[in-house]
Structure 1
Amino acid sequence: MTTVNETYAHSLENADLRAFYEAAGFAGRVGWGERPAILVIDMAGAWADPGEQIGSDLSAVSDSIVRILEEGRRAGLPIIFTTMAWDPSLAEIGEVVRRKTPHSELMLHGTERVALRPEMGRRPEEPLVVKPRASAFFGTYVDAMLISAKADTVIVVGCSTSGCIRATAESAFNRGFHVIVPREAVGDRSPSAHAANLFDIDARYGDVLPEAEVLDHLRALPQTHPRAAEE
């Protein structure tokens, strides 16, 4: 016998739950705009090293991101990386954040914990934004950089699905951007949190798509940046 909990278990594959949300007026399709940009969220040591306090094995996620970055660079798309870090004084973190997330006290400027993983291959023209909170838009100039690049779509990749990915997707949605989340290119230390938040992002903030579909779209884009043809 199917229980209520099984019927409404969060999963992108749960057709009953999707139908329930659609009937309530959720889960419309955002689709692609005309000018995508890629936001790579927090692919740094603290999150991507399983030996770290908040780390987990994101090797498959990293591989997916690298493939997406390759096609994005070929097309000359704007690419923005983020990490989270604070001054050793800890004053800018704030008491509430320190109480709720004590691990924040270890995320200090200049440490390996907040340095990007080398496989991301960040290039000099790709900015690295140090954000003070979960969303890439909070307390940063990410929205201004996207507007300057005339981007209307953000491809959000990285970690963690239940935290910084969801927060960034919500902020982008609230600012009127098309939000695309390649499902293989985001990860979380908790599989259940990952599944639940992928469903919620897809229902509320953007379109969660297979990596293959995202790559096909990027490959069909013309090269728009003068450096793209030379690399």
Structure 2
Amino acid sequence: MTELAPKYEHSLDNAELREFYAGAGFAGRVGWGERPAVLVIDMAGAWTNPGAQIGTDLSAVESSIVDLLAVARAKGLPIIFTTMAWDPSFAEIGEVVRRKTPHSEKMLIGSENVALRPSLERRADEPLVNKPRASAFFGTNVEAMLTSAKVDTTIVVGCSTSGCIRATAESAFNRGYHVIVPAEAVGDRSASAHAANLFDIDARYADVEPLQDVLRTLSALPDRKG
């Protein structure tokens, strides 16, 4: 019988755990394709306002995303934003989701809870997608937009690492995209959930890279503006 794995703390800095996973056939490197796009996940009031029910201080994450967006825009890359918002009837949520995540009842269309952070300075040609579930691909036209733009690489940033980032990375991976997650550009209300899920995302769905490495790769891309 195969021995159970030793108890390890899940962290990207845990070299012993990374070696254990690599020995089990996880955590391979996929690298970049040729045509990346940026998916900015749920950087809106409900998640980024520490006073909100599910909010936390993501100012460092926000700053990292602003830096990444500046380079992506200079290169003319597709950029897609997401949020989650519901009609006050709540008919779109469904009973199961509403009972499991009652905070969804505060995500009302037009409210500050679902409005993007102003510092992101979303442009007119950068779609804002209202997604009904954790993954940016579930019940949306995100995949169609990526296909139209001939995208082969998704750079996933935003929040929360343990929920919508993980779900979006998994969906992108399942569709055959190269998935890049800049470590400093994702965040979570729970430090332990962030660390554990960032490790798992890197092991199963995406290449988690330092932000500066991502910025260098983007800066070296051909200019696609115009």
Q: TM-score range by the shorter chain?
A: over 0.9
What is aligned with 2:159? 159
Residues 35-46 of structure 1 aligned to structure 2 (within 5 Å): 35-46=35-46
Task: Report deviation, 1:50.
Answer: 0.3
> What is the percentage of aligned positions where both structures have the same residue?
76
SS at the partner of 2:213? Answer: helix
What CA deviation, in whole Å up to 9, does each residue of 1:134-154 have, x standing for no partner? 000000000000000000000
What is the aligned partner in structure 2 of residue 77 from structure 1? 77
Amino acid at match of 1:146: L
**Cα displacement string for residues 3-23 of structure 1 (whole angstroms, at most 9, x for unaligned residues):** x43xx1100011111111111
Query: Hey, what's the Cα distance between the residues in 2 that align with 1:207 and 1:148?
Result: 24
Give the Cα–Cα distance (whole angstroms) in 1 for the partners of residues 165 and 145 of structure 2: 19
TM-score, scaled to structure 2: 0.97
Partner Cα separation in structure 1 for residue 121 and residue 110 of structure 2: 18
Unaligned runs of 5+ in 1: 227-231
CA distance in 2, matches of 1:20, 1:152: 30
The Cα offsets for residues 4-53 of structure 1, whole Å up to 9 and x where unpaired, read as 43xx1100011111111111100000100000000000000000000100
Letter in 1 for 2:105: E
* SS of match in other structure, 1:17: helix
Per-residue Cα deviation, 1:119-146 (whole angstroms, up to 9, x for no partner): 0100000000000000000000000000
Looking at structure 2, the residues matched to 92 and 198 of structure 1 have their Cα atoms a distance apart, in angstroms, of 30
What's the CA shift for 1:223? 1.0
Provide the C-alpha distance between the structure 1 equivalents of 2:103 and 2:94, rounded to a whole number of angstroms. 13
Count of matched residue positions in the alignment of Structure 1 and Structure 2: 222
Q: How does 1:38-187 map to 2 (within 5 A)?
A: 38-187=38-187
CA distance in 2, matches of 1:156, 1:51: 25
Once the two structures are superposed, what CA deviation does each residue of 1:76-113 show, in whole Å capped at 9, x if it has no partner? 00000000011100011011101110000110111110
Q: CA deviation at 1:225?
A: 1.9
Give the secondary structure class of the aligned counterpart of 2:222. Answer: coil
Deviation >6 Å, runs of 4+: none
What amino acid is the match of 1:38?
A: V
Instruction: Say which SS state the counterpart of residue 203 (structure 2) adopts.
Output: helix
TM-score, length-scaled by structure 1: 0.95
Q: Distance in 2 between matches of 1:224 and 1:216?
A: 16
After TM superposition, the structure 1 = structure 2 runs for residues 199-218 of structure 1, keeping only pairs within 5 Å, are: 199-218=199-218
